[in-house]
Structure 1
């Protein structure tokens, strides 16, 4: 665990495929390059003159459907297509909102209006503010009491609220729910009063900082992670039901027996009640509620990607022969399994026929709505666009969608691999939440014929008890295939026992970027490629962030079709060897991730759809027949011309006086791509110096990328507008920009050589007076690093302790752990070791790892607290069992031996 520390100054270039930026923000001992999610300058905002209190906030790009969103027209469709009733009221629209401290009392005053159900971080919410783990989000609106004569009941439904919701009616709590992806309901009849009622919802969402299962939404977005989505993000609605009513149905098709197993689950007293179900084929079944019934479906029209046949289903609840409740539903007859083909190869079979799953990894994000699609048409478009490209499968990645998404997938004949949402960490409470929500996920999505595979774990993220949980999932739903672990690390060239890598799973599954590749063959398991591809094709003017696009590999638009065709030809070879499915990353760009077949705004497709279908026809013959109906799909074909060829002409226009903002921004980025450093800085400073309103997300992101010195225009803009900048970018990002520049100009000359011993008191007085907290923090950071490199351990400990005590909340836990380990390795002074123990303890506050447990245990051991040391080292062993350095260290501790040299 030896660590090498060095100074990391911005002395070289980052060799990124399209852009190069000088390296910066590298003033700490442990270096990290952080990429932020941001926007470029062609911002949009949807204003509504009839609702002056609400407007869509600026966003770098937006889809064509965003303009159709108004407070009077917010996802008005019935939200639950498999249980349709007529008496319902949509509660989407303008609500009041307030953000308070997590433990604060209910707010007396609210901050403004929010458009439900868009996450508070989204542009369409009208708020576009982050919700921090230290905060609570409050919603409020008025509702009227529906007609509840003749014993009717009123149900309040939430499609999804992320993460911990408590619901109040007229000041009284009527219920709560934890889980960011599951629908939930309360009977609010008894809490309603005549006339107007006050409905309030309080939401706590730690995003990626708590025990809550969460997707790829994070507080600080970076590559492969995206902007957080907190609070209400699916439709809120009320419906009126009788005193005894149909609460749910459970549908299991059996195509071999020609029947549908049906369970009608009810609520209320149903002792003298019966149920009746009638399918659109004319067949019916009668029986008792909450019992298994068999509905005949002879000579069934099977559901498949090529013929997505669905049967309508009418379900009635009767009291002594009189109908008291009715729902409309539907079902599909299909069967999914792993079995051997005519050559004895284990394959994926649909309806007793081998069917290759040619799919994409769909994240389900929207530029203006984040987790929430702007309209139902937009939601449907994504599925139809993917089918129009010639795919028959979607892997829904670490997210559950609204019920209507699965309804559209059912109608389109799209096979769906449904991921479970990632467990947060290894804490017992996190595991309990993960398992609770998995059970709810399967129950909620059970009836959709499109879902054919459950995916338990992804790439080892917070994986535990894989065999047990895979077997539990198969028992919970024997009608589907279970993928216990997609993306298992696997070296096909190294001898190894792979039998446990996919224990109890129906599939072996690897990820291979760019790939393609194939996992090993194991008896009884089909072989699939859970992720591959990731080819970045930047599309100017259609980027979330025009400076930070990312992909696994990159090709220009002109070369993408040929590249993709060659990849599919290789994929076909693996299919012939036994591969049954593949998931390409991905159908749409997502924020800075630009490896989609279409841009994030769904405006540009990077290969013409008819050409994609022909390419896919090499592996899936029927792909050529997946063309969308005219009018359903609309997109421009990517321009394959190289705009940078015009650079010299455009630069001449700049020198001749052309200086409008959009032109200067584009030209600056063009200069970056062409490595014209001299003109890049001139263009950048000209652009920033003439902006009338620099305090926008897009401009501040630009400033972040092009500000390296206290003399840069961007630094002065941040300094003069610090509070506003923090509100937009967050404290850490703004602080990092300032510290980087201060270090470059004010500190770097004094620490460029370890032989130099500057007068730290003079520097401190100068920097604190001039720059306040950022000056002091970067000085302490530089001092710690300098003392470390000089191996001046007493002064290193003193400066680091001062840094931790005052600015520890800004330090990464990895840095704290590394500092503590360095003292353990190099120091015997007990007082210094105790200081390092404090840092080590602080590193355990999140992102727990065996390395951090090991550091803490070793420090305890070295200062003589052997019993405690053994307890903590055991935690490291529990996290990473087997013969390794942790088990060796534990044995030494138990014997009372030294664990240091």
Structure 2
């Protein structure tokens, strides 16, 4: 077992052989007076603490566990760059740093990044000394009270409250080094087309790669499917490959939660001398998401979505999973409870989680962390981070939908405010412009504008009451069945699929904290309410899916099917039987 925390490869759908994990013990300092830049801490400072990266200082696993406000923090560590990497370009990667990061190497400023949920990197080659004394310094500014900053479920008050929890500040995903040649592949977008039996490949290259040749080799289960060689005449190379093979009964191996088939693909970049200058290993899934006659289709067939809300918090480590095994366990337990997907709520999830959803078969609705006070500054930052999310996660077949906003958070007056309405429409169409392969929800819960799905949040406790209220579809989609109008003023229902995307939230009386509705005394009472609500939703013919709240307790919110430390409160087989209509 590795002594390095989170030792696994951090970018599992774009893999190169050589890399160096920088997780582990870093020097650390609080800078509550924000004097570090003026005093040039990046050039020399006696740091008084250490921290265990990639865990935030608020978490126990960081070795600090201080949940009080510290809005400016610093990190430093030595870099032992392998001598064998000389002659390469050395890229310093950060999986995520919340919220605004500045980076120096050997006192030389490398750059900055704003946004706490997406990766960024710098070419640090020219700042290296290669003498064993190289060091990296990071400053993170994360203003704990700032509601214009995308923060998701991180409390902006001194303490957690309602459904907002302890903060995650600074570095919270893996930091790592990677050597590349000047001529290399920057990124690849793979778009499956199951109707044609092809995958469209769009490769982005460095300027030095122009004139090279790119070879793509596709296989499935060790069986060769296709091999294509294309000239790199410019930095953007686009080509289409047929993946229909007589080696398989129906020609194509489609991806679904029940059959998570993945094609392997390698990309090899060869220079004009015939030398290999880059080699990347990846994968893709052949799947299609579409809408027809008020139903969501997966691979051209109606697919009833049984989702569970998952906030991705962990005891002792907050937003950072303590291990790869913890991520895998959450996925396996989700499936054990009889769900075929998750609505990842207010968190841009770790790429390793998405990798295992691809591998094990679990649908994912992706969602950006909300800000809570509308302004042009907040709006611009939010759009920028959404663009980075789509670039990072485009190739994951598990993701079938993007949730642009949740419950009008960040756009509190969207019901009547034309500016905020226009902004939600702009975000939805920006997402569509970058990704036409997935559905986009404008504002999950209520007050929709331009949306591909009509999604509703309703926490009533009685199944028969729910069945009665939702019996008349026209009244539902044109009204306010749960207290807020489903569509904002000036917008209306246009035949979109209807789903109940938050319901339940049942808590036990024995749990210290809160849930939705009255707490239940025991398993029998829990199952009676859970079954009543779930059966009612499944009995309404125009509703084509649901999302139960939620997978686990999170701190003071104790309405999970599992405790915060992942102990099931109810036998998963009993929940599964209800979800599958067998009980």
Give the TM-score normalised by structure 1.
0.57
- 1:165 aligned to 2:122? no
The 5 A counterparts of 1:293-332 are 293-298=239-244, 299-320=251-272, 321-332=274-285
User: Which residue does 2:574 correspond to in 1?
Assistant: 611
Structure 2: gaps (5+ residues)? 245-250, 412-419, 471-475, 479-492
SS in 2 for 1:444: helix
**Within the alignment, does 1:86 sit opposite 2:12 as a pair?**
no
| Counterpart mapping for 1:166-565 below 5 A | 166-194=102-130, 195-219=132-156, 220-281=159-220, 282=224, 283-287=226-230, 288=232, 290-298=236-244, 299-320=251-272, 321-340=274-293, 346-463=294-411, 464=420, 465-488=423-446, 501-514=447-460, 519-520=476-477, 522-538=493-509, 546=512, 548-558=513-523, 559-565=525-531
CA shift for structure 1 position 420: 1.9
Secondary structure of the equivalent of 1:458?
A: coil
Correspondence for 2:483: none
C-alpha separation in 1, matches of 2:383 and 2:537: 35
On the 8 A contact 1:131/1:205 being kept in 2, the answer is no
1:253-284 Cα offsets, whole Å, 9 max, x none, are 11001011111212241221121111114212
User: Partners of 2:186 and 2:17 in 1: how far apart?
Assistant: 15
> Aligned in 2, Cα 1:314/1:131: closer, same or farther, shift over 3 Å?
farther
What's 2:549 paired with?
585
1:573 corresponds to 2:546? no
Cα shift readout 1:121-169 (whole Å, capped 9, x = no counterpart): 0010011124636x31000110123336673111111010000001111
What is the match of residue 116 of structure 1? Answer: 53
Tell me, in whole angstroms, the C-alpha distance in 1 between the residues paired with 2:308 and 2:207. Answer: 43
Cα distance, 1:273–1:581 mapped onto 2, change above 3 Å: same
Q: Give how far 1:94 is off.
A: 0.5
> How far apart in 1 are the matches of 2:140 and 2:452?
38
Contact 1:98 1:137 in 2 (8 A): yes
**8 A contact 2:296–2:304 mirrored in 1:** yes
> What is the 5 A alignment of 1:434-833?
434-463=382-411, 464=420, 465-488=423-446, 501-514=447-460, 519-520=476-477, 522-538=493-509, 546=512, 548-558=513-523, 559-574=525-540, 576=541, 578-603=542-567, 605-618=568-581
Rounded to whole Å, the distance in 2 between the matches of 1:431 and 1:469 is 9
* Equivalent position SS for 1:382: helix
Alpha-carbon shift at residue 73 of structure 1 (Å): 3.2
Contact 2:97 2:173 in 1 (8 A): yes
Relative to structure 1, the CA distance from residue 474 to residue 524 in structure 2 (aligned partners, 3 Å threshold; closer, same or farther) is farther
Distance in 2 between residues matched to 1:361 and 1:514, nearest whole Å = 17
- Give the CA deviation at 1:190: 0.6
- Counterpart Cα distance in 1 of 2:266 and 2:517: 49
Q: What does residue 878 of structure 1 align with?
A: none
Question: Secondary structure at 1:411's aligned position in 2?
Answer: helix
Rounded Cα–Cα distance in structure 2 between residues aligned with 1:485 and 1:286 = 43
> Residue in 2 aligned with 1:827?
none
Q: Which has the higher contact order (CA 8 A, sep 6+)?
A: 2
Is the Cα–Cα contact under 8 Å of residues 404 and 443 in structure 2 kept in the other structure? yes
Question: Secondary structure of 1:221's match?
Answer: coil
**Shift of residue 550, structure 1, vs aligned partner:** 4.1
CA shift, 1:502, in A, is 2.9
The answer (yes or no) to whether the contact 1:481–1:506 under 8 Å persists in 2 is yes
What CA distance in whole angstroms lies between the structure 2 residues aligned with 1:553 and 1:563? 11
Q: State the 1:367 CA deviation.
A: 1.0
3-state DSSP of counterpart to 1:505: coil
Shift of residue 553, structure 1, vs aligned partner? 3.1
Report the secondary structure of 1:571's partner residue: helix
Unaligned runs of 5+ in 1: 1-67, 341-345, 489-500, 541-545, 625-901
Partner deviation per Cα, 1:59-79 (whole Å, 9 max, x = no partner): xxxxxxxxx9x8x23011111
1:146–1:154 contact (8 Å) kept in structure 2: no
Gap change, CA 1:161 and 1:552, over 3 Å in 2: farther
Aligned to 2:484: none
Task: Give the match for residue 102 of structure 1.
Answer: 34
Looking at structure 2, the residues matched to 81 and 146 of structure 1 have their Cα atoms a distance apart, in angstroms, of 22
Aligned partners of 1:208 and 1:217 also within 8 Å = no
Larger Rg: 1
Contact residue 414 and residue 450 of structure 1 kept, 8 A:
yes
1 CA distance for matches of 2:283 and 2:518?
Answer: 43
Q: CA deviation at 1:233?
A: 0.3
The answer to whether the 8 A contact 2:551-2:562 is kept is yes
> Contact conserved, 2:504 with 2:516, CA < 8 A, in 1?
no
Q: Which structure carries more strand by proportion?
A: 2
| Distance apart, 1:106 and its partner CA | 4.1
Distance, in Å, in 2 between the alignment partners of 1:312 and 1:210 is 43
Q: 1:130 to 1:269 in 2, by over 3 A?
A: same
CA contact (8 A) 1:120 1:131 kept: no
Deviation at 1:612, TM superposition (A): 1.5
CA shift in 2, pair 1:419/1:296, >3 Å: same
Q: SS of the counterpart of 1:199?
A: strand
* TM-score of the superposed pair, with normalisation by structure 2: 0.87
Q: Write the distance in 1 (CA, Å) between the matches of 2:49 and 2:85.
A: 36
- How many positions carry a matched residue from both structures? 524
Q: Deviations over 1:322-343 (max 9, x none)?
A: 3211011110010001112xxx
Any conservation in 2 of the 1:163–1:179 contact (CA below 8 Å)? yes
Q: Is the 8 A contact 1:425 1:431 kept in 2?
A: no
Aligned residues of 1:148 and 1:154 also touching (Cα < 8 A): no
Distance 2:532 2:242 in 1: 48
Whether contact under 8 Å (1:303, 1:332) holds in the other structure is yes
Q: Within 2, Cα distance between the matches of 1:562 and 1:243?
A: 63
Structure 2: distance between partners of 1:124 and 1:359? 30
Moved over 6 A (4+): none
Aligned to 1:831: none
Q: Is the 8 A contact 2:147 2:371 kept in 1?
A: no
Q: Give, in whole Å, the separation in 2 of the partners of 1:175 and 1:120.
A: 23
Superposed CA RMSD = 1.9
Alpha-carbon distance in structure 2 between the residues aligned to 1:148 and 1:270: 22
Q: CA, structure 1 residues 333+208, in 2 after alignment: closer, same or farther (shift >3 Å)?
A: farther
